[in-house]
Amino acid sequence: MFMHSASLDQTDRKILDLLQTHPGINATAVGERIGLSQSACWRRMQRLREEGVIRDQPVILDREKVGLTTMVFAHVKLTSHGRSNLSSFAEAVKEYPEVMDCYVVLGNVDFLLRIVAEDIKAYERFFFEKLSQLPGIQEVTSSIVLSDIKHTTALPI
């Protein structure tokens, strides 16, 4: 399905940048910073939501402070039979709260997953009891993250 880009002017980009870098900022504060009235700013923000440019305004938690000290990138290769139905694998991993991100990728593997767990033992349980039990898996290569160098949700707009 082809997704078209929204038409964004400089004011829209300034609004989006402020919304990304100042969580919880309201239309009044955004308007003051960029020289728009609160109502004009609110209308633009509402349009950006309606167009799907603003998808969500989540609260970002520190995973380690909530006890999820282990992050793993799992490279998943499906069998040729499993590859014929990528969507069944994709639907299954959507149900696992441990899977933070799942991407279909080109190259030597079919999927890249970002997984969080309390510790290595918790990841081991997830791997053996859930991930490796999914049909069509040929190989899973796990890369354990030692430290976060950069993590952001702000897009460079």
pLDDT digits (tens, 9 = 90+) for 115-135: 999 999 999 999 999 999 998
Cα gap 28→20, rounded to integer Å: 16
**Confidence at residue 63, expressed as pLDDT on a 0 to 100 scale:** 92
Domain map of the chain by residue range? 10-50, 70-144
For domain 10-50, give the fold: Arc Repressor Mutant, subunit A (1.10.10)
Nearest to 90 by CA among 111, 115, 105, 109: 111
Cα gap 50→121, rounded to integer Å: 43
Structure tokens at 53: 């440019």
Cα gap 58→36, rounded to integer Å: 25
> Residues 19-63: pLDDT tens digits?
998 888 999 999 999 999 999 999 999 999 999 999 887 788 899
Quick one: how far is CA 118 from the chain centroid? Answer: 19
DSSP state, 25?
-
Report the predicted TM-score, pTM, of the whole model to 2 decimal places: 0.81
**Confidence at residue 17, expressed as pLDDT on a 0 to 100 scale:** 93
CATH (residue range 70-144):
3.30.70.920
**Confidence at residue 1, expressed as pLDDT on a 0 to 100 scale:** 44
